[in-house]
Amino acid sequence: MAFSMFLRNSACTNRVFTQQLMRMASQATLTQTPRLLGNSTTLAAPAFKQTTTTPLLDAVRSFRTSAPRLSEKGSDHAKLWVIEKSVTVAMLPLIPLGLAFPSKIIDAIVAVLITAHSFWGLEAIAVDYVRAAIFGPFIPKVAIALVYLISIATLGGLFYIISHDVGLANTFLQLWAVKSQKA
């Protein structure tokens, strides 16, 4: 996947680079005719010769990592992956910052990031493991609907805690402050 993303890069899509790559791919096509070394019958490495077969670049371009119906829509999964990882990295300083300086704004940002992060994780699980080939066409749709329902309920519950209660940070601080009572 990284190699196909590299080939879609603007530096790789210019005309000069593409022509050079096509020339190299067509010149380095491996043939199946072995050579003999001197008078012995030992086979050497296969010979290289210029042929008119399909260049290597065409084979790489035809390789797809996503379903054909998704690639026809023009959706870019690489951008979504970058957004997912950016949300994860953004949570690293925001969660301790929210605990150190409790405020409704930081709590709301953390609530949205946590909900988005868990939505993408649950959606990946539902798409990967609840497939139509195994469960039929109806159950995967129900699984995705449940993911949306869980995410909406989570975000609504977190916003309720932020607006009508003490807030996320103070809720976590209160949970950590609970001491066990000895009988």
Phi, psi of 43, rounded to the nearest 5 degrees: -85, 140
Place of tokens 């790559």: 21
Place of tokens 């946590």: 114
Any known ligand binding at 77? no
Which has the closest alpha carbon to 129: 143, 117, 118? 143
Q: What one-letter code names the amino acid at 83?
A: I
How far is residue 43's CA from residue 26's CA, in Å, rounded to a whole number? 24
Any known ligand binding at 129? yes
Q: What one-letter code names the amino acid at 174?
A: Q
Contact status, residue 143 vs residue 126, Cβ threshold 8 Å: yes
CA dihedral angle for residue 128, residue 130, residue 136, residue 142, rounded to 10 degrees:
-120
Pick out the residues of the known binding site for a ubiquinone.
Answer: 129
Pick out the residues of the known binding site.
Answer: 117, 129
Pick out the residues of the known binding site for heme b.
Answer: 117
